[in-house]
Homo-oligomer: A and B are copies of this chain.
Amino acid sequence: MAVPGTAPAAAVSRVDRRKARTRSALIQAAQGLLAAGRTDVSIQEITERADVGFGSFYNHFASKAELFHEAVLAALDTHVALLDTLTAHLRDPAEVFALSFRLTGRLQRVQPQLTRVMLSTGTSLLLADTGMPAQARRHIRAAAEQGRFDIADADVALAWVGGALLGLLQLLDARPELDAAALTDATAERVLLMLGLKRRDAVALASRPLPALPRG
């Protein structure tokens, strides 16, 4: 795929720009359908919603499942970039992980539709080697390498903590009366215990002051 902005404008052909627009329109259509819980649609319905030709679908995606999967990861990209920015000054990878976890749990109340898109893919999201799962895996691996986390395998640890986070987001989605910030921090504390931190360290990392998330 062409990435306008990484090359001089003149080097990006009109065809490349059109391709990028088509891909982006398909991903946006898929995000809308995911948020509405409507994954049982035909490819024709998706291309109509995106206002692109039916035939162009297969120039970009091998299947509907691939489109939906990429749509979820793309929807989370802004949050992933925000986490990178907000944690850039931290030295301790365990603290980077904890802060990212706590801000992602809070995402449910701030951007409920985005969270619903995330939940729609279920735990298969955790297998992705790009986007948010890849970022979390990097944080976990760095914390393990520095002896902060006591784990044998970052993929397994991500399955645990990512699964627990998705379970929490699902509960918050279903029960608007719950205190999302308090429950997310309680979850972060237990997740840090699960990753091998001492209780005192887990409590400390799960209760540091947090920057606020911008509304989506």
Contacts and interface: CB of A to CB of B under 8 A. Distances in A.
**Band of interface residues on A:** 35 or more
Q: Which of A119, A167, A193 is packed against the most chain B CB atoms within 10 Å?
A: A167
Contact of A163 (B40, B155, B164, B195): B164
B123 A190 contact: no
Interface string A99-124: 00000000000000000000111111
A204 interface: no
A12 interface: no
Q: Which of A124, A152, A160, A174 is packed against the most chain B CB atoms within 10 Å?
A: A160
A122 B183 CA distance: 21
A79 to B, nearest CB: 19
A162 B193 CA distance: 17
A19 interface: no
Contact of A162 (B120, B167, B183): B167
Interface in A162-216: 162-171, 174, 183, 186-187, 190-191, 193-195
Contacts of A122: 119-123, 166, 170
A2 interface: no
Contact of A190 (B160, B165, B168, B183): B160
Contacts of A35: none
A121 to B, nearest CB: 7
A39 interface: yes
Contacts of A163: 123, 163-168, 170
A127 B174 contact: yes
A194 B165 CA distance: 13
Contacts of A187: 156, 160
Given A122-B120, A194-B194, A156 B127 contact: no
A176 to B, nearest CB: 14
Contact of A170 (B124, B164, B167, B190): B124
22 contacts: A40-B40, A40-B64, A119-B122, A119-B124, A121-B122, A122-B123, A123-B167, A123-B170, A126-B170, A126-B171, A127-B171, A152-B186, A156-B187, A159-B164, A159-B167, A160-B164, A160-B168, A161-B167, A163-B163, A163-B165, A163-B167, A190-B194
